Structure formats: C-alpha cells, structure tokens
C-alpha cells in the first residue's frame, strides 16, 4: 500500500487510442544554457526562445500547455567534451547540441502519484499538478497529482482515467497511484501556433 509520499512525476505507460503503446519519443532542442533543470517525468512545452522554438519545462499547476513528458536528454558535456546521455537536464548546461527526448503523444496514459488519497468517486475527475523540484541524485521528477483539486472543472490539465492496483498501490491509499491523461492544453491539439 502506498502510505508514503514518493512522487515520481509522469511515467508514460500506454495510450488511449486503439494501438499498442510503443514508447515513441520525439527529439527537440533545448536552448544552450537554459536556466531551469528538467527531470525525467516533468511536463515540457515548446517555448519561443527568440529566434528559435525550443523545449522548456512547463511549470503550470492549474493549467498546462504541454508538448509532452520529458524522458531524458543528451549533449556534449562542456567540461569533458564527451557525448553525455542524462536522465535529467542540469540547469544552465552550456552546449549547442542539447537534445531532449519527449513523449509527445497527446493521448498518452501516465502513471502518477497523488499527494493525498483518491477514491473510486474521483475516477473521471480533472486535477491540477503539484510542482516540486526533482531529484538530482536520481534525475527524476517529483511532481504529483494535486488530489485536493479533483473536480469537474473543465480547465484542469489532467484527467484521472484509472487506478494502479497492485502490491504498492490501491484505490484509497494515503498517496494513491493513478493513471492520468492530458485533459486540455496539449500543444499538438491547440489550433494556435507557437512563436
């Protein structure tokens, strides 16, 4: 049972469309010396870094405009000159070849932990996100579903579509693991362009 808070960000695990989940990622640039760390499982968005559009961390809570979920990156390490794959992007890394790996499927299912108990009545409700600094030790996000916001509010960014029922989590646990999908705001479905 999930009786302790162990938020892990968003972990893609499936899709709601009628095809098998393939774990496809898209490669996008991160701006040289971008000043915010991005962790495995964080939500990211296209940002206009004038003159270029690049990946940025989406820090929204009650609203998001995501392009997807960050699943790592690679770059030439400025201190060693070596090609470096990394679970997270360390803030202000100075390299011209930083590439982010992003799960961009707008219908992706993601496992996340709620910051409080969610019950069967919360199935189908929409929720906000709790944004917490990620772990530099293991490179993972510590974002969670904001259980206190579970409601019918149409503008909230995540929708609870199922519960994780297994040895580590079940419906109604103190920190319930849930499956969520993007409710609104995904940039691939937004008719307004970027930049």
What are 114's strand-pairing partners? 145
| pTM of the full structure | 0.94
Quote the strand ranges of 104-167, DSSP E: 108-113, 126-130, 144-151, 158-163
pLDDT for position 108: 96
Listed residue (170, 180, 164, 171) closest to 127, CA to CA: 180
Contact 24, 100 (CB under 8 A): no
Show pLDDT as tens, one digit a residue, over the chain (195 residues): 456 789 999 999 999 987 778 889 999 999 999 999 999 999 999 998 777 889 999 999 999 999 999 999 999 999 999 999 999 999 999 999 999 999 999 999 999 999 999 999 999 999 999 999 999 999 999 999 999 999 999 999 999 999 998 887 888 889 999 999 999 999 999 888 876
pLDDT for position 180: 98
């Amino acid at each position: 049972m999930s009786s302790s808070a162990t938020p892990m960000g968003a972990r893609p695990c499936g899709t709601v469309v009628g095809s098998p989940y393939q774990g496809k990622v898209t490669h996008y640039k991160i701006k040289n010396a971008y000043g915010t760390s991005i962790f495995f499982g964080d939500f990211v968005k296209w940002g206009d870094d004038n003159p270029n559009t690049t990946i940025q961390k989406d820090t929204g809570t009650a609203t998001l405009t995501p392009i997807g979920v960050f699943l790592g990156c690679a770059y030439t390490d400025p201190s060693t000159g070596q090609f470096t794959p990394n679970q997270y992007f360390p803030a202000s890394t100075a390299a011209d070849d930083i590439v982010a790996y992003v799960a961009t499927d707008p219908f992706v299912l993601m496992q996340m932990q709620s910051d409080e108990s969610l019950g069967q009545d919360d199935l189908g409700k929409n929720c906000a996100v709790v944004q917490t600094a990620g772990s530099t030790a293991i490179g993972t996000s510590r974002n969670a579903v904001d259980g206190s916001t579970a409601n019918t509010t149409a503008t909230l960014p995540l929708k609870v579509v199922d519960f994780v029922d297994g040895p580590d989590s079940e419906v109604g646990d103190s920190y319930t693991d849930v499956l969520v999908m993007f409710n609104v705001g995904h940039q691939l479905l937004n008719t307004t362009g970027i930049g």
